[in-house]
Structure 1
Amino acid sequence: MSDELERRDGLDRRDELTERFARLGDRPAVIDKGRTHSYGDLARAIRTTADRLRERGVAPHEAVVLNSDFSFGSIATLLALYLNRNVVVPLVAFTEGALRTINDSCAPRHLVKVADDGSELLVEPMTAAGPGAEPGAEPGAESAAATPEAYRPLVEAGAAGLVLLSSGSTGAPKAILHNLDTLVAEKAGSGDRVGSRTTNILMFLLFDHIGGINSLLGVFKVSGTAVLPARRTPEEICALIEEHGIRLLPTSPTFLNLILIGDYHRKHDLSSLRMISYGTEPMPEELLRRLHTALPRARLLQTFGTSETGISATTSESSESTYFRISDENVQYRIVDGELQLKSRTQFMGYLNYPDDSLTEDGWFRTGDLVEEKEDGFLKVKGRAKEVINVGGEKVLPLELESILLGSPLIDDCVVYGRPNSITGQSVCVDIKPSGAMTRAEARRHVHEFLEGKVEPFKLPAKVNLVEELRVSDRFKKQRIRA
């Protein structure tokens, strides 16, 4: 098959998604700031935006930074860039580290910003000097010399690409390159699961996060409706669940605990929820028990995935268990020295700015997650290998202590982490958000008394801090790595 025929075949496959949206017509696709956009609206917006991009010199396979969070316009633009076979770099917020990584590693040619409703599209040239600078070659010039070597397999396959940035909590963000055609084919599917009742799914996870992309493609797979929040606060999210009868909420354990602490599950009617999928960090067993008691009608599902391998389909042992099984025919797993390793069909193509030392010689991705496995194949995440606290040669898993401490009626939330210690190497520290008034001395005494007899003495925190709020990332994960 000639290169031209391969390109046409790839375009036809991508255009099938837009054709499917057009066939769904008036079925609601996106609810954004109270306005409902149909699948027909989305199909038209994708095609109109694709035409605008080409008119403004955005050539296939060029890297494009899409600066936006979820909106109807950003979703249409993402899919227009997919249709145009671009390498998309979604970015919710420009930070110094993210901008440096993108400029140094992604060879960005354009910066795209879009109005929420898709009515306006701003396309600026973007080079190492930053957005707005004149590029080294004419915009729209699709030349082999201008294509980074890392993108060459995408060009040869006639495929679109996706670059996701890691959180960068321990250094410069990693630029993670994916084949976007593969992700869409695997996660959006054929869309043949069309029922008479639409499934409203809340887009809680960010637009530039693998979980957010997975949630969006999952909406398309079931021909559901993506409900977009203006703000990700417990009040806003619970109000949207009540208003739109949300059936599926993908989120994190930390955010779910914020809902419980603020009593938002009682202030709003959350009875429409049929599933809460949680990931991005391990779930403390005590928190899961609290959630099951507070939201008994919702099935609680442990999800698992990484930015490098995509999100795997999983099955929880039950809504009261932190054990889960990877039930995805496209994902293989193995456990080596207690660490979970994955190999998937949606596996990344490589890092643009780091060596691929997270891959084994035979192509398995080292997740960095420590797990235990039961005889029936159910897994349980015990914590991150890099977060293990070494106290004089003894290992302490933060999740173990947090799960126990959350059983105290005097503690709303907590985070356990290690700090350097000149004698033992590291010491155990804990930040406590109390449920009521408490002095630091009272908090230390209560923590030690509550843990006594439940853990070995070396696991007792050497330092107990009282905090009004825990430190969490913009992805609502507890921050345990301290500078």
Structure 2
Amino acid sequence: MSIEFLLRVFEEHQNDIAIYWRGKRFDYRWLYTRIEKWRSELDELKVTAGAVVSIESDFTPNTIALLLALIERGCIGVPLMWDAPEENKARIYRIAQIECAFHFDVEADSYRFQRLEVANDHDLVATVRGREHPGLILFTSGSSGDPKGAIHDFTGLLEKFKRRRPTRNMLLFLKFDHWGGLNTLLHNLSNGGILYTVQDYGPDSVCKLIQDYDIEVLPASPTFLNLLLISQAYKKFDLGSLNLITYGAEPMPELTLKRLNELFPSVKFQQTYGLIELGVFRSKSKSSDSLWVKLDMDYRIVAGILQIKTESAMLGYLNAESPFTEDGWFNTGDAVEVDGEFLRILGRKSEMINVGGEKVMPQEVENTILEMDNIRDVLVYKEKSPLTGHIVCAKVNPAAAEDPKALARKVKKYCRARLQSFKVPVKVEVVDEAFMSARGKKKRVI
């Protein structure tokens, strides 16, 4: 039984709180009992081992119990956010060949079941079924074209959670369809910790949860943390309980990390590293204000790109070529620098801007522009050019109203004084918009 180790924890902690959801408490006895009830409901609905089953929801008591019941049954789960655009959901249903679907009302925590007229015939799904193991399908953000569906044997992902570790009050901030969110879920449940769910991901609401529940650990993206600085929500609430903020999913701007350390001197900042294709790895930052990180995994650097070998790696993509080398290393696509046992993640190779053969990482230009006065946020991206291949472009969000043409000229002048000429934005647009995607990362495809 793949979740037997979790059920033992639930029995040990049966009188302890497992989940805080919308102001209500659910203990581990409730969670254990709800999984038992799901077994009967899945029998009635004729959801059998090996079925590809979507859960369209967010983290709620019922969906947490359902996900665990599906793992126990040996189904292949596909978590989807309930508020994802319908076009995105349709793509995922098609790519994953979903056979059964649970559509949740996240406010009532109730569901509607749907059986689709689909018989999944994908070879990788057949591999999971042949092992009689549970599976998991997660999708990339799909910012351009179809998202890629990564299929896992869930047994490999669960292995690291069998070792008991200390828990602290941790916000379940990363989302239901994100491995970071599932990693937080399984870490807390496997150690008898408390899951504090989030319904509103705005800075004010998150800060209020930290204050109300004495949250000690906040896992977040650099883009959200920058939004926290911009909003100044931290001034409205008592965040004294926080002692650790972990960040990952995208590179952290140097200036953002510096400001965070200045504002929260008693909080430790720790960089994490994980991918939907591999899971989340244990890591250690060189220091709280450093972007250099030591990763607890087997890796190698090939032509400046990080490659990883791990037992928790996905089986492959449902709709894309394999990213594994012939000798079994996963090509992450992340450009890195190396300093002894520490790495610095520079960003995705796919986001790199090629200007006449010269390589530009968007984060370097963003870090420079963020140093300027009156800049709240910036997004650097590429556009095609018939002459140079690409040009560097920037959207800037000013803190206070300023003449757009004058601000654009100032940005270019500031960059020319500090960057090589090919890194200076050719096009600068002044906007009043957030650059955060539904997954809390910067939207780099314009």
Shift of 1:210: 1.1
Deviation (angstroms), 1:97: 4.7
For residues 477 and 434 of structure 1, the distance between their equivalents in structure 2, rounded to whole angstroms, comes to 19
Report % sequence identity.
Answer: 35
Q: Work out whether 1:425 is the aligned partner of 2:389.
A: yes
| Distance in structure 2 (CA, Å) of the matches to 1:391 and 1:353 | 31
1:336-368: CA deviations, max 9, x gaps?
A: 001111111210011112221x11111111111
Equivalent residue pairs, number: 445
CA 1:148–1:388 in structure 2 vs 1: closer, same or farther (change >3 Å)? closer
Q: Give the match for residue 410 of structure 1.
A: 374
Partner of 2:116: 126
Name stretches of at least 5 consecutive residues in structure 2 with no aligned partner: none
Question: Where does 1:73-472 land on structure 2 (aligned, <5 Å)?
Answer: 73-93=62-82, 94-114=84-104, 120-128=110-118, 148-186=122-160, 188-190=161-163, 192-193=164-165, 199-327=168-296, 331-356=297-322, 358-374=323-339, 376-472=340-436
Shift of 1:471: 2.9
> What is the distance in 1 between the residues matched to 2:260 and 2:146?
35
CA contact (8 A) 1:72 1:117 kept: no
Residues 23, 40 of structure 1: 8 Å contact kept:
no
**CA apart distance, 1:480:** 1.5
- Is the contact made by 1:309 and 1:346 (CA closer than 8 Å) also made in structure 2? yes
Deviations 1:35-92 (A, max 9, x none): 1111111111111112211121111111111111111111011001111110001111
Distance 1:38 1:461, change over 3 A: same
TM-score by length of 2: 0.95
Judge conservation of contact 1:73–1:117 (CA < 8 Å) in 2.
no
2-side partners of 1:220 and 1:20: how far apart? 8
Give the Cα separation in 1 of the matches to 2:111 and 2:441. Answer: 33
1:9-28 → structure 2 map (5 Å cutoff): 11=1, 13-28=2-17
3-state SS, counterpart of residue 454 of structure 1: coil
RMSD over equivalenced CA pairs, Å: 1.9
Give the structure-1-normalised TM-score.
0.88
Equivalence for 1:69: 58
Whether the 8 Å CA contact 1:431–1:470 is kept in 2: the answer is: no
Question: In structure 2, what is the Cα distance between the partners aligned to 1:411 and 1:121?
Answer: 44
State the secondary structure of the residue aligned to 1:127. coil
CA contact (8 A) 1:73 1:116 kept: no
The answer for unaligned runs of 5 or more in structure 1 is 1-10, 129-135, 137-145
Q: CA deviation at 1:123?
A: 2.1
**Are the structure 2 counterparts of residues 119 and 96 from structure 1 closer, same or farther at C-alpha, using a change threshold of 3 Å?**
closer
Give the number of the structure with larger relative contact order, counting CA–CA contacts within 8 Å between residues 6 or more apart.
2
Deviation at 1:448, TM superposition (A): 2.6
Within the candidate set 25, 44, 63, 1:36 is matched to 25
Structure 1 residue 454: Cα displacement: 1.7
**Following TM superposition, by how much is the alpha carbon of 1:119 offset from its aligned partner in structure 2, in angstroms?**
7.0
CA contact (8 A) 2:57 2:105 kept: no
**1:158 alignment partner AA:** E
State how far apart, in whole Å, the 1-side matches of 2:153 and 2:241 are. 35
- Contact kept in structure 2, 1:45 and 1:118, CA below 8 Å: no
Cα distance in 2 for partners of 1:451, 1:275 equals 34
Matched-pair contact (CA < 8 Å) for 1:415–1:432: yes
Secondary structure at the counterpart of residue 108 of structure 1:
coil
Cα distance in 1 between the residues matched to 2:342 and 2:184: 24
Which stretch shows the higher mean deviation, 163-172 or 470-479? 470-479
1:441 partner SS = helix
The question of whether the paired residues in 1 share the 8 Å contact of 2:5 and 2:162 is answered with no
CA distance 1:222–1:299, shift in 2 (3 Å): farther
Contact 1:31 1:227 in 2 (8 A): yes
Quote the residue 1:141 is aligned against.
none
Name the CA distance, whole Å, in 1 between partners of 2:408 and 2:286: 35
